[in-house]
Amino acid sequence: MSELLFKRLGLPAHVLTETGKLSTSKETLYKIFHKHPIIPALMKFRKERSLYSTYLIGLEPKLHDDGRLHSVGNITSTPSGRFGFSPAVQNWPKGRKPGEVNMMKMMVATPGTKYVNADFSQLELRFFALLAGEKRLIEMFNDDVDVHLVHAEKFFGDAFRNADAEGKKMLRIRSKPPTFCKNYGGGANAIFEQVLPDRLDEDPEDVFREVKYLSEAFDGLYPMLVAAGDYFVNLAKEDSNLRTMLTRRMRKFFMGGASLTVAKNHPVQGGAGDVMNLATLKWIDDLKASGAYWTTVWPTLQVHDSLSAEVLEEHAEEEADRLKRTLYTELTFSSPISKTTNSMKFPVDVTIGHTVAD
């Protein structure tokens, strides 16, 4: 590949590997992707080859006698307390964008059943806002405001206000990565790495300038979220550990390993995991009390803020109502960061389909 790109095609080389060869790493390809159409094609090929080798190879021997994959969930396999699965179906790509692979289409309901799926709406960002006591964000969520639409207008100003419907939709999408990266202390570089694969037809310097501006604008909107990052890092360094808000799950930090990203990860991601796990237990208890557990409803999968079950088709609507009711959560918390007490709603969206992707 190195010979093809840099000798036969004459593309500019940037980095040498430890063995003295010209690098074809992802970071190197980012710098030259606009120089030749082979680069985006190569990056797409590598991504899909990785999906194949990581998730598909070796699945067949793990199928059970019924021809299906029975993945086992484990709540102790991750530091945050979110479920890990073996095989790792929680990592299967969901392919939310056009042209992306969606492996959730492989999770097909058996004849006579449907998948009922419940998703917490913006779970981690809601939880982060509550921990930090970021009142403006809490109020928007509790009032069911589309925060990404608000952010798009704040970030892009007249460009957003003067855009047509399709333009507004595009700018709303571009406003989302900073929102999610900030959950874990990600700055402009982290946002850049996330968005660039979807914008390979643009100059990377222009993309970086945009995400740097978005990162700084987001911090300016929500100073309590910024302060929360510093608070968690200092707390971790003082106590060598952090605990989640609800179940007090501990994560230890040895030898000063409390970076901004890792220290924010446990209270935010782990706390959101607490919400999900406690709500799941409430749902399971309700299923058992009603006699539906493993008679009309088979809990199947929990992926971060999403819960799926196979349900007899005639009971699907009833189960959708139960999930919406039992998973709904409200929490009140006195934030040590903003020194305010706030309440947050954690609603769920429920859908029914033939596959988990549906």
pLDDT, position 98: 66
pLDDT in tens, 185-233: 778 888 887 787 777 667 778 888 998 999 999 999 999 999 998 898 8
Amino acid at 332: T
Place of tokens 């010979």: 3
pLDDT at 186: 74
Assess contact for 69 and 63: CB atoms under 8 A.
yes
- pLDDT tens digit sequence for 250-260: 888 876 565 76
Largest CA distance in the chain: 69
Task: Label residue 236 exposed, middle or buried (CB < 10 Å: 0-12, 13-18, 19+).
Answer: buried
Q: How many other C-beta atoms can be found within 10 angstroms of the C-beta atom of residue 221?
A: 16
Q: Which two tokens stand for residue 257?
A: 């390993």
**Which residue do the tokens 């100059």 mark?**
203
CA distance 251 to 274: 14
pLDDT in tens, 110-160: 999 999 999 999 999 999 999 999 999 999 999 999 999 999 999 999 999
Band (pLDDT 50/70/90 cuts) for residue 59 is confident
Distance between CA atoms of 114 and 99, rounded to whole angstroms?
26
Cβ within 8 Å of residue 132, ≥6 positions away: 222, 224, 225, 227, 228, 335, 337, 338
Closest CA to 133 of 353, 334, 347: 334
Residue 67 CB burial class (10 angstroms; 0-12, 13-18, ≥19): exposed
**Whole-prediction pTM value?**
0.85
* pLDDT value of residue 234: 87
Q: Could you give the residue ranges of the DSSP H alpha helices within the chain? A: 2-3, 26-32, 38-51, 123-132, 135-142, 147-156, 158-161, 165-174, 176-181, 188-195, 204-221, 223-239, 260-265, 271-290, 316-327
Structural domains present in the chain: 1-57 (1.20.1060.10)
* Tens-place pLDDT, residues 63-95: 899 888 888 888 877 777 788 888 888 888 887
